[in-house]
């Protein structure tokens, strides 16, 4: 029996790195039940696992307890969810104001999923080299919304190398998850941060202003300056699961903080009188887009798939 870290998942094979640096390709044995969650990938990048060798291959037989994970609804109708990665120290969501557009709904759902498992998130606004005046205005507006809540925001150009030294400092000595829509420049950023990986990059579809998938599975890469990056497939939609509607406000820090002033302890912030959250939205203390994201998540049908 050996122990190792899962550094790559293709859905059927898992690459495991042992503490002494050995690399092993493993399958899984039987079915794993993870906290009662039905998932398309019972073993995720970032998992610590035990594996053994049988006559034909090396087989994962145990998944160690996870300190956290980030999860989304699967596009596979027969399953319920997909674990993107586990045991991460922090996550970076790469956002583009244009080329392609990242909506506030998508950002807020990702942030809520991370808040649910106490994963710190930083927002990286990429492609600033391409922004027109109205794009720059939108960038200032979005940074204002999220920095006010407490999320660190960075402006970069992965293509031109602008402000990448700041990102490298943030990544040091941590296990970092990078996520975002296809086409936001995730692979370009990773290639710039860690030369030599030569990850495939894609072009934006001019017809639909969307990126084409270049990463089809999650993989962890070691950084020269200490730390790890987990590269994930581009995500078009981010449906949230494993969250009780009554607790949804807990994952919006500004709504949760303001809710202490509501008249009712169990206020849903939808129809109750003397709701401090609704009052804060009306006077602009809470962003209307954040509130609309909260409403969308609370009122979403469990069988509904979220799509951009």
pLDDT exceeds 70 at position 30: no
Q: Which residue has the tokens 């495939």?
A: 200
The pLDDT, as a whole number, for residue 77 is 47
Q: What angle do CA 105, 297, 146 make, to 5 degrees?
A: 40
Query: Are the C-beta atoms of residues 72 and 242 closer than 8 Å to each other?
Result: no
Query: Are the C-beta atoms of residues 167 and 154 closer than 8 Å to each other?
Result: yes
Average confidence score pLDDT of the chain:
86
308 against 249, higher pLDDT: 249
Phi, psi of 206 (to 5 degrees): -65, -30
164 C-beta neighbours (distance < 10 Å), count: 16
The pLDDT, as a whole number, for residue 306 is 38
pLDDT exceeds 50 at position 205: no
pLDDT tens readout for residues 293-307: 999 999 875 444 433
pLDDT exceeds 80 at position 210: no
Long-range contacts of 270-275 (CB under 8 A, 24+ apart): 270/295, 270/298, 270/299
Using a 10 angstrom Cβ sphere, with 0-12 exposed, 13-18 middle and 19 or more buried, the burial of residue 112 is: buried
Average pLDDT over residues 146-164: 97
> What pairing do the DSSP bridges indicate for beta strands 69-73 and 121-125?
unpaired
The pLDDT, as a whole number, for residue 303 is 45
Nearest to 9, CA basis, from 54, 60, 52: 60
- The radius of gyration computed from the CA coordinates of the chain, to the nearest angstrom, equals 20
pLDDT exceeds 50 at position 29: yes
* Res. 38 pLDDT band, cuts 50 70 90: low
Cα–Cα distance measured from residue 300 to residue 308, given in angstroms and rounded to the nearest whole number: 14
pLDDT tens readout for residues 83-131: 889 999 999 999 999 999 999 999 999 999 899 889 999 999 999 999 9
Using a 10 angstrom Cβ sphere, with 0-12 exposed, 13-18 middle and 19 or more buried, the burial of residue 70 is: buried
- CA 9 to chain CA mean position, Å: 16
Cα–Cα distance measured from residue 182 to residue 190, given in angstroms and rounded to the nearest whole number: 14
Average pLDDT over residues 128-151: 97
């Amino acid at each position: 029996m050996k122990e190792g870290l899962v550094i790559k998942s293709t859905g059927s094979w898992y690459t495991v790195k042992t503490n002494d640096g050995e690399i092993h390709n493993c399958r899984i044995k039987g079915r794993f039940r993870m906290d009662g969650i039905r998932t398309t990938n019972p073993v995720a990048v970032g998992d610590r696992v035990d594996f053994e060798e049988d006559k034909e291959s090396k087989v994962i037989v145990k998944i160690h307890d996870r300190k956290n994970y980030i999860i989304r609804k699967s596009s596979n109708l027969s399953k319920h969810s997909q674990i993107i990665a586990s045991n991460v120290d922090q996550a970076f969501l790469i956002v583009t104001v244009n080329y392609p557009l990242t909506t506030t709904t998508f950002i807020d759902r990702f942030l809520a999923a991370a808040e649910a498992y106490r994963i710190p998130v930083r927002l990286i606004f990429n492609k600033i080299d391409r922004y027109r005046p109205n794009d720059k205005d939108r960038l200032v507006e979005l940074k204002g919304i999220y920095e006010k809540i407490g999320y660190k925001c960075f402006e970069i150009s992965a293509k031109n190398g602008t402000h990448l030294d700041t990102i490298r400092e943030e990544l040091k000595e941590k296990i970092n998850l990078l996520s975002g829509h296809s086409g936001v420049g995730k692979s370009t950023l990773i290639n710039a941060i860690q030369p030599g990986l030569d990850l495939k990059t894609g072009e934006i579809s001019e017809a639909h202003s969307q990126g084409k998938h270049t990463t089809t599975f999650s993989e962890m890469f070691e950084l020269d300056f200490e730390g790890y990056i987990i590269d994930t497939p581009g995500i078009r939609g981010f449906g949230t699961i494993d969250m009780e509607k009554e607790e949804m406000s807990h994952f919006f820090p500004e709504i949760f903080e303001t809710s202490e002033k509501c008249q009712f302890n169990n206020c849903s912030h939808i129809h109750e009188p003397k709701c401090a959250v609704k009052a804060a939205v009306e006077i602009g203390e809470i962003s209307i887009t954040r509130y609309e994201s909260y409403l969308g998540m609370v009122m979403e049908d469990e069988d509904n798939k979220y799509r951009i």
